[in-house]
Amino acid sequence: MIELFDPHFVYTFRCFDRHGRLKWEWTEKNLIPNAGRDYIIAAAFSAGSQFGTWYISLYSGAYTPQLTDTAANYPANATEITTAYSEANRPTLVPDAPGSGLYTNAASPAVFTFTATTTVQGGGLHSNSVKGGTTGILASVVAAPSPKTVNAGDVLNVIAGVALTSS
């Protein structure tokens, strides 16, 4: 019998004020939507197409991630933040060297430099770099444990990763 397992990314969000002082931090497990799980299986085991670069987004809506989330519906449903930070695109997830079953960007967090005060309620992992882009794969969506305010001048660092272990 095939056993199902529940893989997930873990995200850490760290907000720093304009002086570099930590304002708040949270860590949370994500949801891998159906489209993300299908992509992972196809890319790893069925010679499916692969994306070599991934991007992190943020959202401001009071949204609960769903298994039915896709790249097409996420920007509108979650209210993706597209104008409150200065980076031209969704920041790139720059992974550390893979090893020991771990994929993370802990050494190079994704950086969002805020130009306007906004509320962050979660984020996602995309194959498309365009802010608000609706094509490609949405591999992961995470909700904050509570809404977090980010002010103009603040910097938000996001670390995302997945660990695979064998028992």
Q: Where exactly are the structural domains of the chain?
A: 9-163
The answer to whether 57 touches 131, Cβ cutoff 8 Å, is: yes
Chain mean pLDDT for the chain: 93
CA atoms lying within 13 Å on the CB side of residue 72: 2
> pLDDT band at 167, cuts 50/70/90?
low
Name which of 58-62, 91-95, 102-106 the model is least confident about: 102-106
pLDDT of residue 145 exceeding 80: yes
Q: What's the mean pLDDT in 51-57?
A: 94
* Residue 79 to residue 3: CA distance in whole angstroms: 35
Instruction: Record the tokens describing residue 57, joined without a space.
Output: 């987004």
User: Cα dihedral angle (119, 154, 55, 80), rounded to 10 degrees?
Assistant: 20
Q: Decide if pLDDT at 45 tops 90.
A: no
| CA dist 123 → 9, 15, 158 (Å) | 12, 14, 9
Alpha-carbon span 34 to 40, nearest angstrom = 10
